[in-house]
A and B are shown apart, each in its own frame.
Chain A
Amino acid sequence: MQDNLQQSSYKDLEQKSKYTNMFLRWFLYFVLILFASYFIFPLYVMIVTSLKTMEEIRQGTLLTWPSSLNFDSWLVAWGGRGYGAGDTFLRPYFWNSIKMVVPAVFFSTFIGAMTGYVLTKWRFKGDQWVFLFLLFGCFIPFQAILLPMARTLGTLGISNSVVGLVLVHTVYGIPFTTLFFRNYYISVPTELVKAARIDGAGFFKIFFKILLPISAPIIVVTVIWQFTQIWNDFLFGSTFSFGEAAPIQVALNNMVLSSTSVKEYNVDMASAIIAGIPTLIVYVLAGKYFIRGLTSGAVKG
């Protein structure tokens, strides 16, 4: 009798917890969907607007679906309307940005990897101080160095050029890339370096043959980070370049703000999306390594 009572009450409890769990689960989904739509909403508006004609934009609301897929505004944003002066479009600036981003990402990543390698595997007196000062670079607000940097670029004769921007971004990327690589290499057993030294490998050989081949996760992290930073940068771009040498973010700004006639929302939206696509591509291609690389570091020997 006692046992039976006990058993039935367990059954009740089991039933109850089942319902509670189910409710909580649906609630969780609800909240997640809510937040997801909140974040996706602006993107939806951008895409939809960029596909509409100006006529449609004036008549419909933000959310209405375009009557037909009309890519005209994308073509205008990318290649212009074809009439002479005053026609700003993204294509040349897009290539400016590519010419700036690729070398800047490459050099800052490479130098960061080297510095991280030295700071962890070839320790020297005062290396913590070097690292501390490098870290300091991560916290300096970039506005603070605009003037001295402008002077420096002027002295070097590379102001208002893509080369100048590459230099600026490389220099200001190094603190971050060094931090990434140092934290990664610190978990790589130093015995690897010792073994390689006994095997007769030198400073560069150990770096290129032993450490670099196992650095893929952190390279991906660094490249994504640097690519996003440099591609999306507006401050350095607008300060150290103008006119023909400007990167895409500056051109986008000029385009949207300087239109003399009616505001063409569809072209603006298309331009904004074009300016954002490369970073999106980088994330999609390498994103899964991003989290992995940020959290991991340990290398199984």
Chain B
Amino acid sequence: MKTLKIEELSKNFGTTEVLRKINLEIDEGNFLVLLGPSGCGKSTLLNIIAGLETINEGNVFIDDYNVSKVEPKDRNIAMVFQSYALYPSMNVRENMIFGLKQAKTSKDKIAEQLEKVSTFLQVDKLLERKPSQLSGGQRQRVAIGRALVREPRIFLFDEPLSNLDAKLRVEMRREIKKLHQQLKTTVVYVTHDQTEAMSLGTKIAIMNHGVIQQNDTPENIYNKPSNTFVADFIGSPSMNLIKGKLIHNSNNICFIAEGSNLKVPINNYDFKEKSDLNNKELYFGIRPEHIYFKKLNEEDYDISLRADLSEYIGHEQIVTLDYSNQEILAKFPSNIKIELEKEMKLYFDLRHTSLFDLKTKERL
């Protein structure tokens, strides 16, 4: 039984296609992050799961029960919004129990739930306050509390941290993670922040233009991006994509960048399909953090590149390098002294490369 299943779901606003044939499944207790740039349809998808938006095609199942036409309140879900959406005229207590009262829960049960959740979230001292008298973090906690008291099957979070300042955001992120570890409820979480997605999710679904690009664990998303969009979206700075082609002769597979004659051996790359590789045009992807200053592994490939620019960002520096007229970035510890305008010896970690077809942009 899947806690949440989305089947062939499509959604248009007028003539604009927002979601196209979405398929998604979540097992009990998972933390799924919907990640993507603004306008990719992730919030619409969340609203559809909540029942706040109608569906054009496809179905949504919660616990194998088709809820596509079920009212939001009957879907056994709870949602936390970006603006918190606390009812301004009610105090914290009334805010938290509003849903239970609507559902005609008994007074004893309401009191019990309120007591449990408010102590758990440490808002029990704030119950009489109005939302306007709370700080950002407290509002966030009350909003989560309002969702918690209903004991839903699925928690929906719509960019809940983006209204907080940087420091508080990191704090609340950790609290949400802790919360999920303790409660083990299924969560669907929408964000455009990759750090949030990576640190919170057990699964990440990356979306672009209404299509899920990759739905996988954070590790796989980072190490084995399924196309150039994912490769480019995840990581900061994002993955270097070097244009070039493959040479495949007898037992050797090499990559040659455009305008270069340097042969990078990639025999150990895990190809999906190992046929028809000779002369294939492609992108060679390597993350800035996988270009080393010192040889770390036996297989590291050594290469001489000219450094053009160095950006100091505290614990590390980002160096712009020239690879046969293609700009690539590398990340080094900031204590290394870089001489600009000079060739220097570097090492590519070939275990962490990704290859993408130049035309389809898909992973090879």
Q: Which chain A residues have a beta carbon within 8 Å of chain B's beta carbons?
A: 189, 191-192, 194-201, 205, 209-210, 213-214, 299-301
Contact = CB atoms under 8 A, between A and B. Distances in A.
Contacts of B83: 189, 191, 301
Contact of B102 (A191, A192, A194, A199): A199
B79 A194 contact: yes
A196 B87 contact: yes
Given A189-B83, A194-B79, A214 B73 contact: no
B137 interface: no
Contacts of B88: 192, 213-214, 299-301
Contacts of B78: 198
Contacts of B102: 199-201, 205
A17 B47 CA distance: 61
A197 B51 CA distance: 9
A191 B81 contact: yes
A195 B90 CA distance: 14
Contacts of A194: 47, 50, 52, 72, 79, 81, 85
A193 B51 CA distance: 13
Interface of B: 47, 50-52, 71-73, 77-79, 81-89, 98-99, 102-103, 131-132, 139, 146, 150, 158
Nearest to A188: B88
Contact of B79 (A198, A201, A209, A214): A198
Nearest to A199: B99
Nearest to A197: B72
B152 to A, nearest CB: 9
A190 to B, nearest CB: 9
Contacts of A214: 88-89
Given A200-B73, A210-B89, 4 more contacts: A195-B87, A199-B73, A301-B85, A301-B139
Give the most central of A189, A192, A200, A214: most B CB within 10 Å.
A200
Contact of B98 (A199, A213, A299, A301): A199
A194 B158 CA distance: 12
Chain A interface mostly: helix
Contacts of B146: 195, 199
Given A197-B72, A198-B99, A200-B73, A210 B87 contact: yes
15 contacts: A191-B81, A194-B47, A195-B79, A196-B87, A198-B51, A198-B78, A199-B73, A199-B98, A199-B146, A200-B102, A209-B89, A214-B89, A301-B86, A301-B88, A301-B131
Contacts of A197: 52, 71-73
Contacts of A201: 98, 102
A195 B80 CA distance: 8
Nearest to A205: B102
Contacts of B79: 194-195, 198
Contacts of B103: 200
Nearest to A212: B89
A198 B77 contact: yes
Nearest to B86: A301
Contacts of B50: 194, 198
Question: For B71, B73, B85, B139, which residue has the most chain A Cβ atoms within 10 angstroms?
Answer: B85
A194 B84 CA distance: 11
A189 B88 CA distance: 11
A197 B77 CA distance: 11
A233 to B, nearest CB: 34
Given A198-B50, A198-B78, A192 B99 contact: no
B18 to A, nearest CB: 16
A165 to B, nearest CB: 34
A195 B85 contact: yes
B74 to A, nearest CB: 8
A299 B86 CA distance: 11
A191 B85 contact: yes
B81 A195 contact: yes
A192 B87 contact: yes
A217 to B, nearest CB: 12
B85 A189 contact: yes
B163 to A, nearest CB: 10
B16 to A, nearest CB: 15
Nearest to A216: B89
Given A191-B81, A301-B131, A198 B72 contact: yes
Contacts of A199: 73, 98-99, 102, 146, 150
**6 closest residue pairs by CB, A with B:** A213-B89, A200-B102, A199-B99, A200-B73, A191-B85, A195-B85
A133 B262 CA distance: 71
A192 B146 CA distance: 13
Nearest to B152: A198
Contacts of B131: 300-301
Nearest to A195: B85
Contacts of A205: 102
Nearest to A300: B132
Nearest to A213: B89
Contacts of B84: 301
A59 B160 CA distance: 78
A194 B81 CA distance: 9
Contact of B82 (A191, A192, A209): A191
B61 to A, nearest CB: 18
A209 B98 CA distance: 10
Contacts of A213: 88-89
A23 B79 CA distance: 62
B327 to A, nearest CB: 42
A201 B85 CA distance: 14
A200 B51 CA distance: 12
Contacts of B158: 191
Nearest to A194: B52
B224 to A, nearest CB: 36
